[in-house]
Amino acid sequence: MENKIRVAVAGARGRMGSEVVKMVLADDTLQLVCGIDPRVAGEDNDSPFPYVADVETAIREYKPEVLVDFTIPAVVKQNMITAINAGVRPVVGTTGLSAEEVQNLRDLCNEHQVGAIIAPNFAIGAILMMKFAQEAAKYMPHVEIMELHHDQKLDAPSGTAIKTAELIQQTRNEMKQGHPEEKEIIEGARGGYYDGFRIHSIRLPGLVAHQECLFGALGQTLSIRHDSINRESFMPGVNLAVKKVVGINELVYGLEHVMFE
Ligand code: NAP
């Protein structure tokens, strides 16, 4: 029988991590070796798999091949460094890593010849939304991005909004939009500035993860919108990444690079 891929999940009790746990347990080709959560480690709980406090312990005691990380911006970078140094392949959904941090992690992966996948958004529909927005920006360069998330989200704008902005930047020449003498009466009213266009972050209970790219041109607008209505929406993408990461030796940023290959 084919060997199962050994997976550890950091943030296994979080909103996303608990979905990852269900997804891994439901897939016969994957084996959940442990969850990582500083608060439950060592406690006697009813979990069908063990919990440890940190990535070092997980690697030493349970020898995962893949570390799935849905934790918090403050710990994800160190979790990745620990994994890559030990030859364990990270699949990372946690947002908040800067471009410079991603570059440093890329260098570390190259040094150790270890694969890693970081995806600001694992929902396949969201990847399509970003791809279509990039295409639309060629023909309709006036754009604003609105991202809407639940009110427990720690970072703004979302990783998906930043990634979309980067993709749009590649196809659109920098151009300041709006009236040249525009003034904000309330600070932040026009949103965050990125390469001449604006990103607006909305946080409300009841939302999951949503984004609309709104394009405007003479006498017309175009909306490209994606809605994740629950967190299961991300799991086919995480599953794909876990299976792909064991076959690569470099860092891949963005699910599109494994989806459209
Ligand atoms: P969450 O519910 O707050 O879960 C985060 C979990 O990480 C919590 O259970 C937390 O435990 C745990 N944690 C904190 N420090 C840890 C550490 N040192 N080691 C291991 N676990 C630790 O957040 P979420 O909604 O699941 O989101 C998690 C991340 O995924 C966020 O960055 C979010 O933006 C991102 N996200 C990405 C995607 C994507 O498709 N890429 C989709 C949705 C969300 P305690 O509560 O006990 O501190």
Could you tell me which of 251, 254, 242 has the C-alpha nearest to residue 81?
Answer: 251
Q: Would you say how long the chain is, in residues? A: 261
Q: What is the mean pLDDT of the chain?
A: 95
- pLDDT tens digits, residue range 170-199? 999 888 888 999 999 999 999 999 999 999
Residue 106 contacts residue 250 (beta carbons within 8 Å): yes
Q: How confident is the model at residue 153 (pLDDT cuts 50, 70, 90)?
A: very high
Q: How confident is the model at residue 46 (pLDDT cuts 50, 70, 90)?
A: confident
Q: Is 114 left (phi over 0), alpha (psi -120 to 50) or beta?
A: beta
Write down all domains in the chain, each with its CATH number in brackets. Answer: 5-118+232-259 (3.40.50.720), 124-229 (3.30.360.10)
How far apart are the C-alpha atoms of 37 and 247, rounded to whole Å? 27
- pLDDT tens digits, residue range 105-124? 999 999 999 999 999 899 99
Note if 153 is an active site residue: yes
Percent of the chain with pLDDT over 90: 90
φ, ψ for residue 16 (rounded to 5)?
-80, -45
For position 189, what pLDDT does the model report?
97
What number of other Cβ atoms are within 10 A of residue 44's Cβ?
6
Q: Scanning the structure block, which residue is given the tokens 């608990």?
A: 18
CA–centroid distance, residue 244 to ligand 1 (Å): 22
Tally: H helices and E strands in the chain: 8, 12
What number of other Cβ atoms are within 10 A of residue 94's Cβ?
28
Note if 22 is an active site residue: no
Say what the pTM is: 0.89
Candidates 40, 52, 71: which one to mutate for ligand 1, based on the most atoms within 8 Å of Cβ? 71
